[in-house]
Amino acid sequence: MKAKVIQKPQRSSKESLPAEFAHLEHINLHAAGIDVGSAEHWVCVPDGRAEPNIRRFGCFTPDLTAMAEWLVSCGVTTVAMESTGVYWIPVFQILESNGLEVKLVNAHHLKTVPGRKSDVLDCQWLQKLHTYGLLAGSFRPDDQVCVLRSYVRQRERLIQGAALHIQRLQHALIQMNLQLHKVISDISGITGMAIIRAIVAGERNPHTLAALKDHRIRSSEQEIAKALTGNYRCELLFVVQQELTLYDLHQQQISACDAQIEQCLSGFDAKTEQAPPPARIRRRKTTQNAPAFDLRGHLHRISGLDFTQINGLDALSVQTILSEVGLDPTRFPSVKHFCSWLGLCPGTRITGGKPLGSQTRRVVNRAANA
C-alpha cells in the first residue's frame, strides 16, 4: 500500500497544544508518533519536517520500510507507539533496524495524560507527548534475548499442549473404567506410558499389563491389575491412540525446541568460563520436561552466576526468568522498579489517609510466575 497523506483536516500543533503543556520544555525535539493498526499505520512527525507532517502507511513490509526511510529523511531519531496486540512487533523491529529509538507505550498510561482534544489524531497526540517527555516506554529486552524468549515461550506452549493430550487420554481411560491414575501418580511416567502403549498395541490382559510396572511403584501388581480390568471400547481406544500420537508429537517438538534453545544460548557472550558449583541436593526428582542438554551450565556461563543455588529455582525457572528479563539488570533503575514491573509490589489505594487495599496489580508476568 502506497503511503497516503491525511485526508481529515486538523489544527496546527500550536492550536492543538493544551494549556497544561504551556510551561513544559521540549525534551525530544526529533520525536515522531505512530498509531499502529492491523491494516494501516498513521505517522506524525514534528511540524516543518514534511508537508504534510502526517502520513498513512500500509502493513506490508515494503510499506514499513518506506515508513522508516521517511522518518529518517525527516530527521526523526525517536519514535513512540502504542503496544497494540502483536501488530507493533514488525513495526518495532524494522524501525529499530534503521537506527531509530522506539518507545513502546502502555495504552493505559497514555489515557491517564489529561488535555487531549477531540480533533487530535492518535499519532499527533503520541508525537506531542513524546516531544515533552511525558511517555514512559515499556520494557523490552535486547534482540538476542527476544530470540531466546520466543523459543522458551514456544517450549512452554508445547508442554501445555502435551499435558492437555494426557488429560484427554486419561478421560478416555476413565470412561472405560480403567482407573490407572488411582494406582499410579503420573500416567505419563515410565510405568504409565508402558501400560498405555501396550494397550494401544492390543494387550488387554490386566495381569500382563500390571507386570510392566516399575519397581519404584508402590502399588502391587494385584492392585494395578484390578484397576486395569475395564470395558475396552473400540471408539475410546481410538481416542487413546490418537491422543498418545499427539502427545508423542509434542515431545518431538519439545526436543526440537530444546535444540534451538541450546544453539541460541551458545551464541551469548560468556561472562565466566568456570564450571558451575556442585548442584544443590534436592528432594524433588528431575522433572520429565527437563532438557537433554546442560542447561544449568549454559545459564551459568552467560550470566556468571548460578541462580539454581537459590531455594525454589531450578534451571528451567532460571531459563524463563532470564529469557523474559535479559542479562542487563541496569535496564531497571532500582529494585522497586523491577518489583513493580513484575507486579509483586503492593498497591497504594489510599483515600483521605485511609488505606482501601494493598493488593498487587493484576498483571501476567512470566518471570514472576516462573
Task: State whether 155 and 49 are in the same domain.
Answer: no
Q: What is the pTM of this model?
A: 0.84
| 349 domain residue, yes or no | yes
Task: State whether 104 and 149 are in the same domain.
Answer: no
Model pLDDT, residue 2: 52
Model pLDDT, residue 19: 60
Model pLDDT, residue 27: 87
Task: State whether 127 and 8 are in the same domain.
Answer: yes
Task: Report DSSP letters for 311-324, one per residue.
Answer: TT--HHHHHHHHHH
What is d(CA 212, CA 179) in angstroms, rounded to the nearest whole number? 16
Model pLDDT, residue 346: 82
CB-CB contact of 370 with 321 (8 Å): yes
| 354 domain residue, yes or no | yes
| 307 domain residue, yes or no | no
Task: State whether 9 and 105 are in the same domain.
Answer: yes
Per-position pLDDT tens, the chain of length 370: 555 555 444 444 444 455 656 667 888 999 999 999 999 999 999 999 999 999 999 999 999 999 999 999 999 999 999 877 899 999 999 999 999 999 999 887 777 777 676 656 889 999 999 999 988 888 999 999 999 999 999 999 999 999 999 999 999 999 999 999 999 999 999 999 999 999 999 999 999 999 999 999 999 999 999 999 999 999 999 999 999 999 999 999 999 999 999 999 999 999 988 888 887 776 655 677 889 999 999 999 999 999 999 988 999 999 999 999 999 989 999 999 898 889 888 877 777 777 777 777 777 888 888 7
Q: What values do phi and psi take at 68, rounded to 5?
A: -65, -40
CA of 322: how far to CAs of 145, 315, 329, in Å?
8, 10, 10
| 298 domain residue, yes or no | no
- Scanning the structure block, which residue is given the C-alpha cell 500420537? 245
Task: State whether 123 and 215 are in the same domain.
Answer: no
CA of 228: how far to CAs of 32, 67, 178, 256, in Å?
68, 65, 5, 34
CA of 142: how far to CAs of 189, 268, 324, in Å?
38, 12, 10
How many domains does the chain contain in total? Answer: 3
H or E segment and range at residue 260: helix 234-266
Q: Which of 301, 296, 271 is nearest to 286 (CA)?
A: 296
Which residues share a beta bridge with 354?
351
Q: Which three cell numbers stand for residue 164?
A: 492437555
Question: Which of 198, 232, 266 is at the close of a domain?
Answer: 266
Task: State whether 122 and 152 are in the same domain.
Answer: no
Question: Which of 238, 266, 294 is at the close of a domain?
Answer: 266
Task: State whether 28 and 107 are in the same domain.
Answer: yes
CATH number at residue 37: 3.30.420.40
| 275 domain residue, yes or no | no
- Scanning the structure block, which residue is given the C-alpha cell 551458545? 266
| 101 domain residue, yes or no | yes
Q: What values do phi and psi take at 47, rounded to 5?
A: -60, 140
First to last CA, the chain: 42
Q: Which of 168, 169, 219 is nearest to 191 (CA)?
A: 219
What is d(CA 21, CA 129) in angstroms, rounded to the nearest whole number? 9
DSSP state of 269: P
Task: State whether 237 and 328 are in the same domain.
Answer: no
**Is the sign of the CA dihedral 325, 326, 329, 330 positive or negative?**
negative
Q: Which domain holds residue 121?
A: 4-131
DSSP H helices, 132-233, are 143-175, 180-183, 190-201, 206-210, 221-227
Task: State whether 38 and 124 are in the same domain.
Answer: yes
H or E segment and range at residue 258: helix 234-266
Task: State whether 165 and 108 are in the same domain.
Answer: no
Give yes or no for a cis peptide into 346 (omega within 30° of 0). Answer: no
Question: Which of 102, 131, 160 is at the close of a domain?
Answer: 131
Q: Which of 87, 70, 335 is nearest to 79 (CA)?
A: 70
Q: Is 221 exposed, middle or buried (0-12, 13-18, 19+ CB in 10 A)?
A: middle
| 238 domain residue, yes or no | yes
Task: State whether 9 and 122 are in the same domain.
Answer: yes
| 292 domain residue, yes or no | no
CB-CB contact of 228 with 210 (8 Å): yes
Task: State whether 180 and 210 are in the same domain.
Answer: yes
180 in helix, strand or coil?
Answer: helix
What is d(CA 124, CA 31) in angstroms, rounded to the nearest whole number? 11
